[in-house]
Amino acid sequence: MQSFTRIMQKCGLTLNKSCESGKLSVRYVGHDTDESGVRADPDEVKATVITPPPKMSNQLGNFSRQLANQATPLRELLRIDSMLVWGHPQMKIFTT
């Protein structure tokens, strides 16, 4: 840390009083950063995570201009010769 502060002084830089050192994780601009990497701040994405997927495919039209292409896995479930199995392709529509 001493070498860091020397370099800062040599470059004419100062740290804000709110600066903290020795932290194992940092929360900044909606992201948590620690030794394992960077991920979205859970508080920032909470609403997205707890919101249930839409119950009807036409609810997606408000959010997607490509609904016709993206809803293909849902339309396939409506075919007479198709078994009604809710799988990964269908769930992917609501999670991407």
> pLDDT digit string (tens) for 4-39?
888 888 898 888 887 777 888 888 888 899 999 999
**pLDDT grade, residue 50 (50/70/90)?**
confident
The percentage of residues in the chain with a pLDDT greater than 90, rounded to a whole number, is: 6
Q: Give CA–CA dist 55/94, Å, rounded.
A: 10
Q: Is the pLDDT of residue 68 over 60?
A: yes
Neighbours of 21 (CB within 10 A): 8
Q: What predicted TM-score, i.e. pTM, was given to this entire model?
A: 0.37
- Which helix (H) or strand (E) segment holds residue 26: the answer is strand 25-28
